[in-house]
Chains A and B, each alone.
Chain A
Amino acid sequence: MKINKIDKSVSLNAYKTDSITLDIVHQRLQSKQYRRFIKLLKCLLICAPFAIVFFMFQIEPMLWVLINSFKYEGQWSLYNYTMLLDDAFIHQAFYNSFYFAFLSSLISTVIALVFINSLQKQKGFLKNSIISFINMCSNFSGVPLAFAFIIILGMNGFVTLLLKDIGLIDSFSIYGKTGILVIYTYFQIPLAILLLYGAFDALKQEWYDAARMLGANFMYYVFKVALPILTPAILGTMVILIANALGAYASIYALTSGNYNILTVRIASLVSGDIYLDPNMAAAISMLLLLSMSFVVLINQLLLKRTYHAKKR
């Protein structure tokens, strides 16, 4: 098949040139070009279906959000954004979203660091099973998680009753700020552990021994040796955790039936709520959410540049 086609192109071009050598060169060039063209065509054919579906369900919605956040009643306008900046309710949503995102990421990173440090000292089989378990826990989020927390920490949850009996707490509401923070931290911990687990391989036992030999106590080793080495990984993990928490929606929605004021709940209620629909406003809030996420990434990049160990890589 292929050879036939090449022959044809050669015979077509043969009368144009009278030199045989030129002809051979031409023929080689042609066939090479032809082959390259076929290869490109195959590439495109294989990639096109994926690209189309991906565009339809991922890129196009993003473009819609971007464009329509700048539209008000069909006209180009900054109205949505100026509205948002004056709205105290939105300010509160921003504050709440960031409060939960930062605090839960920080707490879960610290817990993950302490946990992995201990896990590293364990034997292989135990380590693997624990990681599998953590992996499974990372899937326990959203609506089921909210229900589970209502059972243990709700009004009559047994942990609430237990803590009250001991006298640790007087009143605790899972539907309030602390309760939501606990849930956020719960679903962030497995993620933090899985993300940081690999980074600990960079720490060598010899460094610990050397530091101790030179007279450093454990705390000094942690702050002067271990943490600086882990800093790039920790910062990267924090960014992913913060982004994850900022975008979280299902668990808090299920917990409070969409009554707690955070950004994602605001967005969702503006497109699928019962009272008041305004998709363009939802688009503007979405853009601010994405903008703040990229701001977090940017800060991370700046911090990363200042760390010593990132420079070396």
Chain B
Amino acid sequence: MLKNVNHYYHKTIIYTVLMLMALPILATLVYSFSTKWGATILPDGFTFKWYIDLFGDFRFWSAFLRSAIVSVGALALGLVLLIPIILLACHSAPILLKYLNYIILIPFAIPPVVSSVGLLQIYSDSALNISGTAYILIGTYFTIIIPFIYRSITNSLSAVNVHDLVDAARLLGSSTFKAFILVVLPNIKKGILTAVFISLSVLLGEFVFANILVGTQYETLQVYLYSKRVASGHFTSALVITYFAFIFLFTVIASYIGTKNELRSSKKSV
């Protein structure tokens, strides 16, 4: 009897919180499909009009493309610059890990608004005039994703014995560099993929830097979304849902890779 009461209590708590969390998303979803939904509790009718409008808008596609370019650019920069350091740290200079652990806290601790105060001044009147271009966004987005890349790659490296792998490869006649590329990298592929998808979902939602540093000069998805605030609410809902569909996709892929990884390692330990 008591156990039953407890059971229902827990279920109620979980589903209440989940429902509250899902409510804004679901409401936006319904709103984006409805013809008119004002001053009533339920919408009047359903339509695809808003999505057709959205996908027919050239500005949407170009904003989307710009977001993709900047995100992929920052991601490539992050992976190329950070992976060698992490590998080096794990293989031969563990002291670097100590510093890296502090360094990755900085982007978390400094709010983007604060960084942008300095960035705006440094890069608008110095020799390096990149304010208002994609380059400054790639640079700042790089700093945003450092912690995510670092965390997921070190996580997957913890299951791999870098030293043994490299030593074995070298015994078989490979160079250290070749050993890293051909032996270690494939072993942390899952960590890299997780980093990619988490970073993409974070960067696709980035608004602060994009709005303050670049604005409409290089309109990214979020800035486009913001500029549409005066348009019909149904149209912006369609846009929000499209954006969220991508986030959903990225998160599902990332967590799928993650759980697969877990399964594999748990099977190994058995």
Which residues of A pack against B, CB within 8 Å?
39, 42-43, 46-47, 49-50, 53-54, 56-65, 68, 111, 114-115, 117-119, 121-122, 128, 130, 132-137, 139-145, 147-152, 156-159, 161-162, 165, 186, 189-190, 243, 246-250, 253-254, 257, 264, 267-268, 270-272, 279, 282-283, 286, 289-290, 293
Q: Are B117 and A282 in contact (CB under 8 A)?
A: yes
Q: CA A143 – CA B92 in complex, angstroms?
A: 44
CB distance from A51 to the nearest CB of B (A): 9
Residues from chain B with a CB closer than 8 A to the CB of A68 are 118, 121
> Which residue of the partner chain B has the closest CB to A281?
B117
Q: CA A59 – CA B109 in complex, angstroms?
A: 12
Residues from chain A with a CB closer than 8 A to the CB of B208 are 142, 249-250, 268
Q: Are A57 and B201 in contact (CB under 8 A)?
A: no
Among B17, B119, B225, the residue within 8 A (CB) of A61 is B119
CB distance from B124 to the nearest CB of A (A): 10
Q: Are A139 and B212 in contact (CB under 8 A)?
A: no
Interface string of B218-254 (1 = CB under 8 A from A): 0000100110010001001100100110011001100
Q: Are A264 and B120 in contact (CB under 8 A)?
A: no
Stretch at the interface among B24-32, B59-67, B153-161: B24-32
8 new A-B contacts at CB < 8 Å, known A62-B115, A159-B27: A61-B115, A61-B117, A122-B14, A139-B202, A140-B25, A148-B28, A250-B207, A286-B114
Would you mind naming 28 contact pairs between A and B with Cβ atoms under 8 Å apart?
Answer: A39-B92, A46-B85, A50-B81, A53-B77, A58-B106, A115-B13, A121-B6, A130-B18, A136-B248, A136-B252, A139-B202, A144-B225, A148-B24, A152-B23, A157-B27, A161-B39, A161-B41, A186-B21, A186-B24, A247-B110, A250-B207, A257-B229, A267-B114, A270-B117, A271-B116, A271-B121, A279-B117, A289-B111
Q: Are B229 and A139 in contact (CB under 8 A)?
A: no
> Which residue of the partner chain A has the closest CB to B38?
A156
Count of chain B residues near A, Cβ 8 A: 80
Q: Say yes or no: is B9 at the interface (Cβ < 8 Å to chain A).
A: yes
Q: Are B205 and A139 in contact (CB under 8 A)?
A: yes
Residues from chain A with a CB closer than 8 A to the CB of B215 are 272
Q: Say yes or no: is B255 at the interface (Cβ < 8 Å to chain A).
A: yes
Q: Are B24 and A64 in contact (CB under 8 A)?
A: no
Q: Are A57 and B121 in contact (CB under 8 A)?
A: no
Stretch at the interface among B49-57, B140-148, B164-172, B184-192: B140-148
Q: Are B84 and A46 in contact (CB under 8 A)?
A: yes
CB distance from B204 to the nearest CB of A (A): 9
Residues from chain A with a CB closer than 8 A to the CB of B14 are 115, 118-119, 122, 130
> Which residue of the partner chain A has the closest CB to B254?
A135
Q: CA A46 – CA B90 in complex, angstroms?
A: 13
Q: Are A143 and B24 in contact (CB under 8 A)?
A: no
